[in-house]
């Protein structure tokens, strides 16, 4: 399962419905729920890095971040001409240098606290660029949204976790006030979704750990617990 | 051993006699989809499937696409001439690379020493050549990458569906599918089946994972 069509092929039969008849739910509702799941999963697990490259403009300190479709919501790294620059706040500059806005040169710091970032994420550069530099931003982002007719598009979610999108959709569908409403069934699918979400977050956070990890409660076999080996008292040196 | 779908479905039919099939409570295709969903979940929870991807390196290239079946990456080996492995790369963050060299993107060498991941493993490209899936970044890029390869090792979803042990079907796939089938008519029973599935996964993971872990660390008791 990896495309939007695969999701629909599972969702409608699970609702005892078909995509052609859409007796209980429309494809539009399914799209809305799928996109809700993608947003929530991406924000909770921070699994998607959005990298954007653009050139600075002489005399312009503010830049929008992110290609259309992938909404970046948290910048975690900025490079100027392939070198990392450091995060700070405009407020810090304001307190330390009253003429900070008039300083220009090759940018050394970036800040995000001067902008209303609800719709388009923006950052500011300090110093204000005095020429053309390559600006590269790394952000956590929200995946490209599903479109109703984009049946062959693959969802931007780790392949192993794609069922999480489906469990979210089913949970929402069974919560909706329709003839199919069933809070207990919605609760069951929510449990599956939450479980998937937690594992996705753990795996995303540990992506560079090179280790496998244990799922759920302790395995049934014996675990060598180091607490057993601590002395009762610490001997004198 | 039996095929994942056929073997599990046969066991389900014993538990739900006369209810699976065309024009019955649960269609064949729906039950088969659920079994494959369970197979995916078991592969991830129990980390049963080991996967390898070989990537041909290119001159002056830092970033390569990763296969979307990976769940995590366990090691990355370097093959200088595409033959035998010659050591592994060390995992690093971009900040680590900054500390190594301020202009690390411009550095070139004859073998890569470090790697990092851009996005969590497993994200497919939304469409062909979209370059928006999971990627690996290596340092240093090679100035001459003739025949050089990277071999990526990790845990993945997928694996053979033709033969799965009977007890994985019985302990994991059957309770998983039963939970899904009961979710609408009897949600409480669905939770019970799901608990049984989780318990089954712990047993399977402990059994298959044990052989990898028992000699590592502080030694046998």
- Asked if A210 reaches chain B (Cβ–Cβ under 8 Å), the answer is yes
The two structure tokens encoding residue A90 = 């405009």
Q: What percent of chain B has pLDDT over 70?
A: 93
Phi, psi of A150 (to 5 degrees): -90, 60
Contacts of A66 (CB under 8 A, 6+ apart): A50, A52, A72, A120, A121, A139, A141
Beta strands in B87-194 (DSSP E): 90-91, 108-109, 114-118, 135-139, 141-142, 149-156
Instruction: Name the least confident of A119-133, A223-237, B183-197.
Output: A223-237
DSSP for A3-62?
A: BHHHHHHHHHHHTT--TTT-SS--HHHHHHHHHHHHHHHHHHH---EEEEEEE--TT--E
What average pLDDT score do residues A122-143 get? 93
Per-residue pLDDT of B121-165, as tens digits, reads 999 988 777 778 999 999 999 999 999 999 999 999 987 777 788
Indicate the range of A6-15, B121-130, B159-168, B209-218 predicted with least confidence: B209-218
Q: Among B37, B117, B203, whose Cβ lies nearest the Cβ of A220?
A: B203
Nearest CA in chain B to A218: B202
> What residues in A contact B100, CB-CB < 8 Å?
none
Q: Give the tens place of pLDDT for each residue, B12-54.
A: 999 999 999 988 999 999 999 999 999 999 999 998 888 999 9
Identify which of B156, B140, B150 has the alpha carbon closest to the alpha carbon of residue B77.
B150
Q: Which one-letter DSSP state was computed for residue B123?
A: P
Mean pLDDT of A24-53: 93
Residues of A in contact with B118 (CB under 8 A): 49, 51
- The answer to which of A139-148, A213-222, B172-181, B205-214 has the lowest mean pLDDT is A213-222
Q: Hey, what are A54's tokens?
A: 């653009």
pTM of the model: 0.87
Element (H, E) at A173: helix A162-175
- CB contact (8 A) between residue B117 and residue A207: yes
Question: Which band of pLDDT confidence, cut at 50, 70 and 90, is reported for residue A227?
Answer: very low
Average pLDDT, chain B: 90
Give residues with Cβ within 8 angstroms of A8, minimum separation 6.
A19, A27, A30, A151
Residue A47 to residue B41, Cβ atoms within 8 A: no
pLDDT at B218 > cutoff 50 = no
- Determine the distance in angstroms separating the CA of B2 from the nearest CA of chain A, rounded to an integer: 22
Largest Cα–Cα distance of chain B, in whole Å?
68
The phi, psi pair for B12, rounded to 5°, reads -70, -35
Q: Answer whether A156 sits within 8 Å of B123, measured CB to CB.
A: yes
Residue in B38, B184, B185 to test binding to A, most A beta-carbons within 10 Å: B184
| B202 with A216: Cβ contact below 8 A | yes
* CB nearest A207 (choices: B29, B106, B121): B121
pLDDT at A104 over 80: yes
Within an 8 Å CB–CB cutoff, is residue B36 touching chain A?
Answer: yes
State the smallest CA–CA distance between residue B85 and chain A in angstroms. Answer: 18
Question: Half-sphere exposure of residue B197, counting CA atoms within 13 Å on the CB side?
Answer: 23
Residue contact A210–B91, C-beta within 8 A: yes
Whether chain A has a CB inside 8 Å of the CB on B60: the answer is no
Report the complex ipTM. Answer: 0.90
Residue B97 has pLDDT above 50, yes or no: yes
- Which chain A residues contact residue B140 at CB under 8 A? none
- A220 vs B contacts (CB less than 8 Å): 202-203, 206
With CA atoms as reference, the chain A residue closest to B102 would be A83
Measured between beta carbons, the chain B residues lying within 8 angstroms of A51 are: 118
pLDDT of residue B213: 47
- Residues 43-82 of chain A with CB under 8 A from chain B are 45, 47-49, 51, 70, 77, 82
Name the band, by pLDDT with cuts 50, 70 and 90, for residue A17: confident
Q: Measured between alpha carbons, how far is A221 from B202 in angstroms, rounded to an integer? A: 10
Taking the Cβ of residue A119 and every Cβ of chain B, the question of whether any pair is shorter than 8 Å is answered with no
Binding-face residues of B in 7-26 toward A, CB within 8 A:
none
User: Do the chains contact at B124 and A16, CB–CB below 8 Å?
Assistant: no
Please say if the pLDDT value at position A233 is more than 70. no
- Residue range A111-119: average pLDDT? 77
> Can you tell me the distance from the alpha carbon of A139 to that of A74, in angstroms, rounded to the nearest whole number?
5
């Amino acid at each position: 399962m990896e495309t939007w069509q695969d999701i629909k092929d599972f969702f409608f039969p699970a609702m005892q419905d078909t995509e052609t008849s859409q007796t209980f739910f429309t494809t539009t509702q399914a799209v809305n729920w799928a996109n809700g799941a993608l947003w929530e999963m991406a924000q909770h697990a921070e699994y998607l890095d959005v990298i954007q490259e653009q050139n600075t403009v002489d005399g312009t300190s503010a830049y929008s971040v992110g290609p259309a479709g992938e909404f970046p919501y948290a910048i975690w790294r900025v490079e100027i001409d392939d070198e990392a620059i450091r995060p700070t706040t405009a407020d810090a500059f304001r307190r330390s240098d009253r003429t900070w806005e008039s300083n220009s040169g090759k940018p050394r710091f970036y800040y995000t606290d001067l902008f209303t970032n609800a719709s388009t994420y923006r950052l500011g550069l300090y110093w204000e660029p005095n020429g053309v530099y390559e600006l590269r931003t790394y952000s956590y982002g929200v995946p490209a949204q599903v479109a109703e007719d984009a049946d062959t598009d693959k969802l931007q979610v780790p392949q192993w976790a794609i069922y999480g999108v489906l469990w979210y959709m089913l949970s929402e569908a069974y919560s909706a006030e329709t003839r199919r409403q069933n809070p207990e069934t919605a609760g069951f699918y929510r449990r599956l979704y939450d479980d998937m979400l937690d594992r996705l977050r753990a795996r995303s956070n540990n992506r560079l750990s090179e280790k496998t990890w244990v799922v759920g409660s302790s395995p049934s076999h014996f675990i060598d617990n180091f607490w057993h080996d601590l002395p009762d008292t610490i001997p004198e040196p | 051993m039996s095929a994942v779908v056929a073997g599990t479905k046969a066991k389900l039919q014993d538990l739900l006699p006369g209810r699976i099939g065309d024009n019955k409570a649960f269609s064949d295709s729906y039950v088969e989809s659920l079994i494959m969903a369970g197979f995916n979940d078991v592969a991830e929870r129990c980390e049963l499937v080991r996967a390898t991807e070989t990537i041909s390196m290119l001159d002056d290239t830092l970033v390569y696409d990763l296969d979307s079946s990976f769940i995590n990456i366990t090691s990355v080996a370097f093959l200088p001439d595409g033959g035998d492995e010659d050591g592994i790369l060390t995992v690093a963050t971009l900040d680590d690379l900054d500390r190594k060299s301020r202009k690390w993107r411009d550095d070139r060498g004859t073998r890569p020493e470090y790697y990092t991941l851009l996005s969590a493993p497993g994200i497919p490209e939304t469409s062909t050549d979209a370059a928006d899936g999971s990627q690996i970044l290596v340092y240093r890029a090679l100035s001459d990458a003739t025949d050089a390869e990277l071999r990526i090792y990790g845990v993945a979803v997928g694996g053979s569906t033709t033969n799965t042990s009977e007890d994985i079907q019985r302990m994991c796939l059957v309770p998983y599918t039963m939970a899904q089938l009961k979710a609408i008519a009897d949600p409480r029973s669905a939770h019970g089946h799901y608990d049984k599935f989780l318990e089954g996964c712990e047993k399977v993971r402990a059994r298959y994972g044990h052989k990898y872990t028992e000699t590592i660390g502080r030694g046998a008791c």
